[in-house]
Amino acid sequence: MMMLFDGSRHLPIVDVADNYGQPDGQPILEECGGEPALPSTSVGNAETSSPIPALTPDTDDRIAFDTQRDGNTEIYVMNADGSDPQNLTQNAAVDYFGSWSPDGNQIAFTTDRDGNDEIYIMNGDGTNPRNLTQNEATDHSPVWSPDGHHILFSSYRDNDYEIYVMDSNGENVRNLTQHEGEDGRFRWSPDGSRILFVSSRTGNWELYVMNADGSDLRQLTQNSASDDFPEWSPDGTQIAFTSAREGDLDIYVMDSSGENIRRLAGNSTANDGGPEWSPDGRQIAFWSERDGNSEIYVMNADGSGDPLRLTYYDDRDLYPVWSANSSQIAYVSMLGLGSEIFLINADGTDLRRLTNNDTVNSGPVWVPHATGSQ
């Protein structure tokens, strides 16, 4: 059974090269060896010798993440400086893939607390958890629509992974893809009118788009190499993705129609992947092995100029996630047998280690500011 996860950033420690082309992406724990060669950092009180003033997170900024610090996977939230970590799920089962409602008041997540993976929803403070799917098959990877009225999720209830949608209260569940190929890695367009996803229905992984109701299905890529990890630009006019069509993994951008495909990130012969648009649309963060180790880089969204390397350490850094104001990037660094979450300014200054518990911490997500009552 293949499990096509919603997004790579929730996976703990993954061999990015070997895992590519397998969007089921089962996490591979890997000993990195040695102590991390990190500068002086501290949780909530970063030290830096940079002459550039450090950017301070908004006092309301928070980051949610998955962690195994309690012996099982739980969903935590912490301040953006790493302080005040709080366990939101507090259950002996596995809880993961937390997805925040756009208004910041609720969290949809995956849990096996009823014996199989189901989609639950709870208030932003962890109260009032309830089961939305209630099905014997595996349901996982919830993603809220931009207007907060619907939730996409992956389900195996048809004996293959299909993309389903339901109202945010769990009602009106329907299968959008209805095809025997594996479908997943879905992304709402910024205006909520379309859904971008990856499918194996032609024999390898290609990118597709459909209307939010499942109509007007269109194949965007047609290449013998696998295309994966798609991300909409903030204005919905472009799509970034990862492909091995020129041998190594590279980052490409195309128009949302599938036209005008071009390769970004310079002429690196090493693997580049995991593109993440900055919310202002000006830059793309990604990981790259061009300097011999997986590090975090940023580049101009049009590919102009040279990419800027942000991290310089012996441990592998992956899964960059931008803050809402495009000034900071949270990412996962693989330390020993675990992984930790770090924060860095988009210009490479003011590195901060946010978690420090020698276990798996992954899936950082910036929490939207709550706009109303729960």
Query: How many structural domains does the chain have?
Result: 1
pLDDT at 370: 66
Q: Which residues are CB-contacts of 57 (< 8 A; sequence separation ≥ 6)?
A: 79, 80, 81, 323, 328, 343
pLDDT at 317: 96
> Is there a contact between 30 and 13 (Cβ–Cβ < 8 Å)?
yes
Over the range 236-248, which residues count as b (16 or more CB within 10 Å of their CB) and which as e?
bebbbbbbbbeeb
| Per-residue pLDDT tens over the stretch 352-369 | 999 999 899 999 999 997
Arithmetic mean of pLDDT over the chain: 85
Q: Let me know if residue 57 belongs to a domain.
A: no
Residue type, 67: T
| Per-residue pLDDT tens over the stretch 149-178 | 999 999 999 899 999 999 999 999 999 999
| Three-class DSSP category at 17 | helix
Cα(187)–Cα(189) distance, rounded to whole angstroms? 6
Q: Let me know if residue 189 belongs to a domain.
A: yes
> Is there a contact between 353 and 42 (Cβ–Cβ < 8 Å)?
yes
Question: Between residues 135 and 358, which one has the greater pLDDT?
Answer: 135
pLDDT at 55: 34
Q: Let me know if residue 3 belongs to a domain.
A: no
Cα(195)–Cα(144) distance, rounded to whole angstroms? 12
Q: Let me know if residue 60 belongs to a domain.
A: no
Q: Let me know if residue 52 belongs to a domain.
A: no
Q: Let me know if residue 47 belongs to a domain.
A: no
Range name among 104-118, 211-225, 235-249, 265-279 with the lowest pLDDT average: 265-279
Position 41 pLDDT exceeds 60:
no
DSSP string, 239-301: EEEEEEEESEEEEEEEETTS-S-EE-STT-SS-EEEEEE-TTSSEEEEEE-TTSS-EEEEEET
What band does 343 get if pLDDT is binned at 50, 70 and 90?
A: very high
Q: Let me know if residue 41 belongs to a domain.
A: no
Residue-number span of the structural domain to which 344 is assigned: 8-35+65-366
Q: What is the CATH number of the domain that holds 155?
A: 2.120.10.30
Q: Let me know if residue 43 belongs to a domain.
A: no
| Three-class DSSP category at 16 | helix
Arithmetic mean of pLDDT, 265-284: 89
